[in-house]
Amino acid sequence: MAVVEERSWKLAAGTAMTGKPKQEKLYRTLTPAMARHGRFLGGALLLDDRPLAFIYGFAFSGVFVDEKESYDDQYKEYRPGNVLKARFLEELVRRKVNIYDYAGEPDQHKARWTDQAYSRTVYIFCNRTARGRLLSISLSVRKWFKSLRTKSEREIIGS
């Protein structure tokens, strides 16, 4: 994944996992844990042992959650991500996984693959320790900033 991310458009956009130590640590920790519990599911497209694209996520109860995917920009014209996705979808069907959930915010790429969307609510319970209180405050501030951004986007659209 890191090799592909270093060569992808995501590096310039600032969304690549490489160069972000916290995110790299998350994947190094999370991947083996998910694999031990039979939840990790991913794929890579290789050309002469060189990774061109990857899909990374987890499966549970007939749902695949696509946490991260990318491709090597040098091969963009060949659509390596789409080639991998087509083969990956075949594997999901074979495993009787019937929902493909793109994680994260909606974007144009995700919209090309489906016209369906849904929302979910996440509840985070914070205990009364100092760390729990900091987390609660952090989440409240993040929610407030997001509401400001959403409000300003609606104002721009309404202008």
pTM of the predicted model over 0.75: no
Answer whether 40's CB lies under 8 Å from 31's CB: yes
- CB–CB of 97/63 below 8 Å? yes
* CA–CA dist 19, 29 (Å, integer): 16
Domain range for 32 is 2-119
Are 55 and 92 spatial neighbours (Cβ–Cβ below 8 Å)?
no
Q: Encode pLDDT of 38-75 as tens digits.
A: 899 999 999 999 999 999 999 988 999 998 899 999 99
Q: What is residue 155's predicted lDDT score, i.e. its pLDDT? A: 60
CATH code of the domain containing 34: 3.40.630.30
Specify whether 108 is located in the same domain as 156. no
Give how many domains the chain has, as a whole number.
2
Alpha carbon distance 140, 144 (integer Å): 6
Both 86 and 127 in a single domain? no
Q: Which of 125, 127, 107, 126 is nearest to 117 (CA)?
A: 107
Nearest-angstrom CA–CA distance, 77 and 124: 42
